[in-house]
Amino acid sequence: MNGKIQADMTLDCIGLACPMPIVKTRKTIDQLADGAVLEVQATDKGSLADLQAWARKAGHQYVGTITEGEVLKHYVRKASTAEAKPEIRYPHTASNEELAQRLASGDDVKVLDVREAAEYAFRHVKGAISIPLGQLASGYDALSPDSELYVICRTGTRSDMACQWLAEHGFSRVKNVLPGMTAWTGETQSEVEGN
Amino acid sequence: MMTTVKAMTSGELARYLIDRKPLYILDVRNEDVYGDWRIEGQSIESINIPYFDLLDGVEEAVKQLPSDGPILVVCAKEGSSVFVAEQLAEAGLREVYYLQGGMKEWSEHLEPVKAGDLPDGALYQFVRLGKGCLSYMVVSGGEAAVIDAMRTTGVYEAFAEKLGVTIKHTLDTHLHADHISGGRKLAELTGAAYWLPPKDAGEVTFSYAKLEDGERIAIGATEIGIGALYSPGHTIGSTSFIVNGQYLLTGDILFVASIGRPDLAGQAEDWAGDLRRTLYEGYRGLSEELIVLPAHFGQIDELDENGRVAAKLGDLFRDNPGLHLEDESEFRRAVTENLPQHPNAYQQIRQTNMGRIHPTEEEQREMEIGPNRCAIHDQ
């Protein structure tokens, strides 16, 4: 299952006792770009609760954890400064409810999830296509410019940027889904067991 | 600069609590864990700052801590408390300790205190301060019986060896839901008989001696007897013991400041009536001079100046709020509604005590984390 979770960097904290996993995670995340995902491998069971609590306070996004034998693999996404003050510029938006309704009616609409692959792996809208924002320029060939496209991310900021970019590249039927996955209550899928 | 951080053992911390010596605790675990379960005592003050808020410096903590007197830094297992304690010492605080083995060891520590005298022996109470559990050793004439033993059985073996007595019997007042019983293990290790009330043992996978109402178990060459008194309510099999006509071991039926909850085996409604009959009729018929020794305490102030949790039965009929719910429907409401949260992992603990699952030592420790919450007034 782990093959499906992608991280930009992996940090080895195997065998380290508290407080070292958090000490090292803090140092390492500073070296990452905004929005990048860090995988932290640890064997200290307490690292799960500590990492969640620390990420909440530090403003980073705790994405999820998978367990492989004795090893816990935690995924944390570095908060980006742009996300701190969400700015929605693309004019065509849709509510979570509107998208859920369109999907439930079986309409021919596509959902594009522009979050990082690791975020997508833990939980995404059923049937959503994954192209992280940073890979949109190289990955958008897979999409048809004529299809009706609902673009979603965690809070609406990355999807706003994706919508603007897609509009500039000939996509005419694109909507930004607000507020996004953070409040999504419709049907979801996961690539990770137990999630 | 030479730092002066010292380890404090759980045994040393226990003396601070029992002797009511002032101690300031900086607990560096997560806020939710601290909110759920922490070290408390009349002479203890504590604050909570998670260690990851102190990684860049401890100024914030130093501002809130007193400049003199002992300071104990506490975390889950020890690592973070050493880390923070060293920084506090470098920042100039003089008497800084860390808790050796952290809350993990504290939750298992048993502090033996003498509960009272017996002919040619004594009755000892083992106070598990970190969890509020009480277990007992009845000693007379070179023999011993252990009641409601914790899973850390080495403590009882070492104590018996120190006294030069042989453990002949281990007994459980009921099938426990808040801690893993050491009764069976201790019996296997010492060759003792393991006693359990049969009505609580319907699903157990091992053989045991049946603890029936009226059973008398002799300890030592003298005439000390443990008399079993069927007292259902917390569980259907709950049994109390009267030791030498002096002491009433109530298990989880009657505590010093509260009464037992009837819901942990899933039968609050059915057992509320049994609980009321045991408390208001069964115990009423006993001598008010009996010293009540329960299997739990809820608040640290239930410990007397010797660290013992005990009270005269007559005093409890006067003072215990759980014995003043005269109206039957009021009683039923009190023991079935607005109960505290269940003890951590109580279902798995019951399964373990039935011998139906076999968690590892580490898993057992995890299952027992947190307060006991066996009384209706626990938080």
- By mean pLDDT, which of A25-34, B85-94, B247-256, B261-270 is the weakest? B261-270
Higher pLDDT, B5 or B374: B5
Is A195 part of any domain?
Answer: no
Residue finishing a domain among B105, B125, B142: B105
B307 touches chain A (CB under 8 A): no
Domain identity same for A72 and A150: no
Asked which of A22, A56, A79 is the last residue of a domain, the reply is: A79
Q: How far is B60 from chain A (nearest CA, A)?
A: 16
Q: Which residue of A has its CA nearest to B51?
A: A19
Asked if B275 and B211 sit in the same domain, the reply is yes
Q: Is the preceding peptide bond at A179 cis, omega within 30 degrees of 0?
A: yes
Rounded to 5 degrees, φ, ψ at B288 are -70, -10
On whether residue A66 sits in a domain, the answer given is yes
Residues of chain B with C-beta less than 8 angstroms from the C-beta of A62:
none
> What positions of B carry a catalytic annotation?
75
Is B199 in contact with B239 (CB distance < 8 Å)?
Answer: no
Distance of alpha carbon A104 from alpha carbon B43, whole angstroms:
62
Considering only residues 24 to 43 of chain B, which have any Cβ-Cβ distance to chain A shorter than 8 Å? 30-33
Q: Is B98 exposed, middle or buried (0-12, 13-18, 19+ CB in 10 A)?
A: buried
**Number of folded domains that form chain A:** 2
CATH of the domain at A175: 3.40.250.10
Residues A115 and A150 occupy one common structural domain: yes
pLDDT tens, B270-289? 788 899 999 999 999 999 99
A55 chain-B contacts, CB cut-off 8 A? none
Q: Which pLDDT band holds residue B226 (cuts at 50, 70, 90)?
A: confident
Subunit contact A18:B55, Cβ cutoff 8 A = no
For residue A126, which of A148, A110, A107, A115 has the smallest C-alpha distance?
A: A110
> Are A26 and A54 found together in one domain?
yes
Residues in a beta bridge with A38: A9, A76
Confidence of residue A1 (pLDDT cuts 50, 70, 90): very low
- The CATH code of the domain that includes B115 is 3.60.15.10
The two structure tokens encoding residue B195: 């006693």
Is B52–A50 a contact, with Cβ atoms under 8 angstroms apart? yes
% of chain B with per-residue pLDDT over 90: 72
Task: Say if CB B292 and CB B250 are below 8 A apart.
Answer: yes
Q: Is B51 within 8 Å of chain A by CB?
A: yes
Which chain B residue has its CA at the smallest distance from A16's CA? B79
Least confident of B75-84, B241-250, B324-333: B324-333
Amino acid making up residue B71: I
Distance from CA of B260 to the nearest CA of A (A): 32
**What is the pLDDT at residue A5?**
79
| Last residue of one domain, picked from the residues B83, B105, B127 | B105
Of the candidates A17, A53, A57, the beta carbon closest to that of B77 is on: A17
Residue B317 is assigned to a structural domain of this protein: yes
Indicate which of A16, A20, A50 best probes the interface with B, i.e. most B CBs within 10 Å of its own CB: A50
Mean pLDDT of B215-232: 82
Q: Are residues A169 and A115 in the same domain?
A: yes
pLDDT at A65: 93
Interacting residues of B263 by C-beta distance below 8 A, sequence separation 6+: B271, B335, B336, B339
- The answer to the question of residue A53 being in a domain is yes
Q: Phi-psi category of B155—alpha, beta or left, where left has phi over 0 and alpha has psi -120 to 50? A: alpha
Rounded CA separation B245/B286 (Å): 10
Asked whether residue A115 is assigned to any structural domain, the reply reads yes
Q: Looking at this predicted complex, what is its ipTM?
A: 0.71
Sequence letter at residue B285: G
A145-171 mean pLDDT: 92
Judged by DSSP in three states, A82 sits in helix
Q: Is the pLDDT of residue B91 over 60?
A: yes
Q: What is the pLDDT of residues B153-191, one digit of tens each?
A: 999 999 999 999 999 999 999 999 999 999 999 999 999
Task: Judge whether B377 lies within some domain.
Answer: no
Q: In the prediction, which pLDDT does A195 show?
A: 53
- Edge to edge, the sheet with strand B291-294 lists B216-219, B224-230, B239-243, B247-251, B291-294, B311-312
Pairwise CB contact (< 8 Å): B79 & A54: no
Size of interface A-B (CB pairs under 8 A): 40
Assess whether A153 carries a catalytic annotation.
no
A151 neighbors A76 (Cβ within 8 angstroms): no
Residues B59-81, mean pLDDT to the nearest whole number? 93
Judged by CB atoms closer than 8 Å, whether chains meet at A19 and B80 is answered as yes
Name the average pLDDT for chain B: 91
Residue B373 lies in a domain: no
B114 and B72 within one domain: no
Question: What are B117's strand-pairing partners?
Answer: B122
Mean pLDDT lowest for which of A16-30, B107-121, B142-156, B362-376? Answer: B362-376
Range of B82's domain? 6-105
Q: Mutation test of the interface with chain A: which of B60, B80, B82, B98, choosing the one with the most A Cβ atoms within 10 A?
A: B80
Domain that holds residue A11: 2-79
How far is C-alpha A78 from the geometric centre of its chain's CA atoms?
11
Which of A17, A45, A54 has the CB atom closest to B52's CB atom? Answer: A54
Q: Which residues does chain B have within 8 Å of residue A19's beta carbon, measured at their own beta carbons?
A: 51-52, 55, 79-80, 83
pLDDT number for residue A2: 43
The partner residue sitting opposite A18, judged by closest CB among B31, B80, B366, is B80
Residues of chain B in contact with residue A53, where contact means CB-CB under 8 angstroms, are 30-32, 50, 52
Question: What does the pLDDT look like over B291-342, one tens digit per residue?
Answer: 999 999 988 889 998 999 999 999 999 999 999 998 889 999 888 887 888 8
Q: How far is B361 from chain A (nearest CA, A)?
A: 15
The verdict on a CB contact (< 8 Å) between A49 and B79 is no
Of A17, A45, A57, the CB nearest to B79: A17
CB–CB of A19 and B55 under 8 A? yes
pLDDT, tens digit (0-9, with 9 covering 90-100), for A55-85: 988 889 999 999 999 999 999 999 866 555 5
Residue A34 C-alpha, separation from nearest chain B C-alpha, in angstroms = 21
* A11 occurs within a structural domain: yes
Q: CA of A42, closest CA in chain B: separation in Å?
A: 15
User: How many domains does chain B divide into?
Assistant: 2
- The CATH number of residue A20's host domain is 3.30.110.40
Q: Is the pLDDT of residue B24 over 80?
A: yes
Residue A12, pLDDT > 80, answer yes
- The tens digit of pLDDT for each residue in B113-124 reads 999 999 999 999
pLDDT computed for residue B68 by the predictor: 86
Tell me what pLDDT residue B223 has.
58
Chain A nearest-CA distance from B52, in A, is: 7
Residue type, A177: V
CATH of the domain at B82: 3.40.250.10
Does residue B52 sit at the A interface (CB-CB below 8 Å)? yes
Q: Are residues B148 and B127 in the same domain?
A: yes
Q: State the distance between the two ends of chain B, measured CA to CA, in whole angstroms.
A: 45
- Three-point CA angle B60, B64, B65, nearest 5°: 115
Question: Which residues of A fall within a CB distance of 8 Å from B83?
Answer: 19
